[in-house]
């Protein structure tokens, strides 16, 4: 009820609220739409949820970065093109106790204790990414040895080879 100037009272029997059934805050008792309708949040997959916490988790794709090295690795850094990096870890880097850090496009790994990744081959590190794993490609690769010197690498999109040791057989090889 509304009293006007003390002279008379006007009854207001309206119930104000959201009158749109598809809205998150729909009020079935409302008789007048007050403009408060809330249509929720659009999730990453295009679905709509009234509470953003109810959105489905975005799937995480992974890409393994492989290595084949005939010398120990003391550190590495590379850029990742074609995808967004959301995390990095595991592999030989984790086994060697490396600290691995990442931004959305760069991965850096090294040891604070001087440990190295032994010569060998396998997964250097696993990247958590957003995007198509087949589009991931490393570039600007820098790998260093225990003296801090850069090692020559032969890289493709998801791995690299280091062949420092001269393991050629010289001299006469005919019997």
Write the pLDDT tens digit of every residue in 37-64: 999 999 888 899 999 999 988 777 999 9
Q: Residue 57: what pLDDT? A: 83
Position 49 scores a pLDDT of: 94
Least confident residue range of 27-31, 57-61, 70-74, 98-102: 57-61
Q: At 113, list the tokens.
A: 């204790």
pTM score: 0.65
How far apart CA 144 and CA 17 sit, in angstroms, is: 65
| Strands in 1-118 per DSSP E | 2-4, 8-10, 16-17, 32-33, 41-42, 48-49, 61-69, 75-81, 84-89, 99-102, 106-110
Please report which confidence band the pLDDT of residue 80 belongs to, taking 50, 70 and 90 as the band edges.
very high
The reported pLDDT for the residue numbered 165 is 63
Q: Does the pLDDT value for residue 151 go beyond 80?
A: yes
Q: Which pLDDT score is estimated for 143?
A: 97
Beta strands 84-89 and 159-162, pairing class: unpaired
If you average pLDDT over residues 80-108, what whole number do you get?
97
Phi, psi angles (nearest 5°) of residue 69: -135, 140
121 vs 11, higher pLDDT: 121
User: Is residue 123 over pLDDT 80?
Assistant: yes
For the segment 72-96, the average pLDDT, to the nearest whole number, is 97
């Amino acid at each position: 009820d509304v009293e006007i100037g003390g002279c008379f009272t006007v009854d207001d029997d309206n119930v104000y609220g959201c009158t749109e059934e598809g809205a998150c805050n729909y009020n079935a008792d409302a008789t007048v739409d007050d403009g408060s309708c809330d249509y929720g949040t659009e999730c990453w997959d295009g679905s709509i949820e009234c509470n953003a916490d109810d959105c489905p988790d975005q799937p995480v794709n992974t890409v393994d970065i492989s290595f084949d090295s005939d010398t120990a690795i003391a550190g590495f850094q590379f850029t990742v093109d074609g995808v967004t990096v959301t995390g990095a870890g595991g592999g030989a880097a984790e086994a060697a106790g490396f600290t691995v850090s990442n931004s959305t496009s760069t991965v850096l790994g090294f040891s604070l204790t001087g440990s190295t990744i032994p010569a060998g081959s396998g997964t250097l590190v696993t990247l958590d990414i957003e995007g198509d794993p087949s589009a991931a490609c490393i570039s600007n690769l820098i790998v260093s040895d225990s003296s801090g010197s850069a090692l020559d690498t032969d890289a493709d999109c998801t791995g690299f080879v280091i062949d420092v040791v001269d393991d050629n057989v010289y001299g006469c090889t005919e019997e």
